[in-house]
Structure 1
């Protein structure tokens, strides 16, 4: 399935060295300052991490899905904040343009996104439309003036990842108020600095310090008609295609984070002594280690299988939801066991287990909650049975 195993191995080796030598030593600094050092961002650009999945003709590496999830496994061994910065560019921030954008839109934005010069963001969630994404209220009204055809966008988007750093927003807005649900939604590209676009304060979150979210507010934000992605009314379909890929990527991140937590827990269990022996010799501790290893293996296998199916051109909406559901829930269980194995130390900020316990809680919520994944899976099953 891999196009060039030797080249992929070189990339994975480079990413693992970068994680070990650069990212891991700076995890505490990022957690304390809520900022990724600019020098590290520059190194990410040099490694091509902002364009991993973007087409080669625009400066990206054009990784297959199987290759991308393997890179995600490796990257996620470090704090999720590092991956978050580049993840939106390779996923929800740019995929709308890659999948359904015009040639002009691709040529204008993708080269700068692949280089890391331009950070993408995906503005779908609203105060009253999160899991029920088809209920969004942000409006886009078409008009014409001396400067040409345009849309006026009004509304508020909430919890938008990378919004404080973003230079380009893929915005879902309702162009047909008479059509309820998904059919009246369209997708737009809105550049930072466009009059009428404003950002709220950076959100204070449970975890994921260094990965920023905030509200994105549109007040008569004038967007050229040429910034419409595809046609009116197709925005929700674009969003779902983008999210299918994004959910698979997040599932891979869950696997990598779980592997990191288990590595730390195993190392601690071997070194920590109680009752005259390492706690790794106690069967109840071994059970937690074994359960974690088993679930990680299952999730990794699911993600790789679904990635290969996507590369083969199959519709993997159900498989992506299965992966996101299982891997994110698995990651939460591994985080809980890791803290338990470390005991009192696991509750202390001196150890990464405490930070990861908070960081990975988000994986069961964003890009579709676990409950939404269950609904997607079941509805697809019923639809397939009727067919």
Structure 2
């Protein structure tokens, strides 16, 4: 396939629109939300009015009729300024709404997607458990079908769930063991649990290193009852469904990581031009120039990687390896760029009033969430035919 990733006029217009929004609306306000560990409802509402939560979904469900490339462009531009806002969009779209769009019935799509696409409601993705992270097949949450009432009865715990406890969270799609195969392996299914369902408890927000203006919680389910019709897709196909969702989500995370890496370049260039030492701007020193040149090289390469994976997805081509490559590379160079940007800023880089301090704190989770760097290397090796 062609690797020409020049943007169409429509994609470029979207990119510019989100770039302006990020600099004019997000940048002046987000630092205060971040320091207060407060979810930025007003910013999220504006993102909803812009149609960002509906970017990759058809118009019939309230979406914008765009594609995954459009979502990635929006995420990159947001993350150049702030990752908390970007991850709220990423999780709301690729983890909250996308499972319903990919695997839901027509009734489920009509019920949930319009509000999710409008940003009036947020969806969450309940996969990770306290003793089950990278080993998603080790799910311990259970769901049994009560034949007498026609309801699923869910028990278990989920952790590190983004968008799960906001005032506008509408649902969490959870994976749960609903039976066992003849060989004893668990049948994992996906079930939609609306917020406020009795027995569904949302814990207080975590105290996190970064992403402090986003919502992340632990969830518990104690005899939670939801209608049998809340099963998402086929029973026993939940694990396979979420593997597909995670493959797509890695492209989105890669776009977000690229944005953070580019934001580090932006801030470092600006600082290097204005900060003076020994009678001249520090950007006149070759050591600083080379640092920033390497940072730009990394961000540029990461951008090519995620756009390549997104293009393959949009064109219906295999993209699993390319998504893993993009996620692995972009997340690791985001950490590197954040470290270098902090070094360039010197003591000011350690002060929270400077965006690079926020970027440094936000970068590390990118090597962990939606598949650790180790998992990405495992997936890449497997796609290359290296199996045990």
TM-score, scaled to structure 1 = 0.94
Question: Is the Cα contact below 8 Å between 1:143 and 1:150 reproduced in 2?
Answer: yes
Cα gap change, 1:259/1:3 in structure 2, threshold over 3 Å: closer, same or farther?
Answer: closer
Q: Which residue does the alignment assign to 2:57?
A: 54
In the alignment, structure 1 residue 243 sits paired with structure 2 residue 246:
yes
Deviation digits for residues 212-267 of structure 1 (CA, Å, limit 9, x no counterpart):
11111011111211111111110011101111111100100111111111110111
How far 1:7 sits from its partner (Å)?
3.1
Change (3 A) 1:291 1:350: same
Taking a change above 3 Å as real, the CA distance of residues 178 and 76 of structure 1, as seen in their structure-2 partners, is: same
Give the alignment of 1:151-170 within 5 angstroms. Answer: 151-165=152-166, 166-170=169-173
**Kept after mapping to 2: 8 A contact 1:89/1:114:** no
SS in 1 for 2:229: helix
Q: Secondary structure at the match of 1:190?
A: strand
Deviation at 1:180, TM superposition (A): 7.5
Contact 2:55 2:70 in 1 (8 A): no
Of residues 176, 179, 189, the one that matches 1:176 is 179
Q: Secondary structure at the match of 2:64?
A: coil
Determine if contact 2:190/2:238 at 8 Å carries over to the other structure. yes
Question: 2:109 is matched with which residue?
Answer: 106
Tell me if the contact between 1:134 and 1:181 (Cα under 8 Å) persists in the aligned partners: no
**1:291 aligned residue:** 294
1:365 aligns with 2:377: no
Q: 1:73 aligns to what?
A: 76
Q: Which residue of 1 aligns with 2:35?
A: 32
1:10 counterpart (13, 29, 37): 13
Alpha-carbon deviations, 1:138-160, whole Å to 9, x = none?
01111122xx4121111000010
Structure 1 stretches lacking a partner, 5+ long: none
Match of 1:224 in 2: 227
Equivalent residues of 2:31, 2:353 under 8 A apart: no
Alignment of 1:205-216 (within 5 A): 205-216=208-219
CA contact (8 A) 1:51 1:89 kept: no
How far did 1:20 drift? 1.3
**Counterpart selection for 1:264 from 264, 267, 290:** 267
1:233 is aligned to: 236
Matched with 1:121 is 124
State the shift of 1:42 in Å: 2.4
Change over 3 Å in CA distance of 1:348–1:60 after alignment to 2: same
Q: What does 1:194-205 correspond to in 2, within 5 Å?
A: 194-205=197-208
Bigger mean CA deviation after superposition, 247-256 or 62-71: 62-71
Where 1:246 maps in the other structure, the secondary structure is helix
Name the stretch that deviates more: 17-26 or 374-383: 374-383
- Measured after TM superposition, the shift of residue 37 of structure 1 is 3.9
Q: Does 1:316 align with 2:319?
A: yes
Q: Following TM superposition, by how much is the alpha carbon of 1:346 offset from its aligned partner in structure 2, in angstroms?
A: 0.8
Calculate the TM-score normalised by the size of structure 2: 0.94
In the alignment, which of 122, 130, 135 is matched to residue 132 of structure 1?
Answer: 135
* 1:64 maps onto 2:86 in alignment: no
Report deviation, 1:376: 1.2
SS in 1 for 2:198: coil
In structure 2, stretches of 5+ residues that fail to align are none
> Bigger shift: 96-105 or 72-81?
72-81
- What is residue 383 of structure 2 aligned with on the other side? 380
Deviation at 1:2, TM superposition (A): 9.2
SS of the residue corresponding to residue 116 of structure 1 reads coil
1:30 positional shift:
1.1
- Structure 1's 361 and 64: CA in aligned 2 closer, same or farther, altered over 3 A? same
* Structure 1 pair 376–182 and aligned structure 2 pair: CA distance change class (3 A): farther
Residue aligned with 1:94, SS? helix
**Separation in 1, partners of 2:182, 2:277:** 65
Deviating more after overlay: 185-194 vs 55-64: 55-64
RMSD across aligned positions (CA)? 2.0
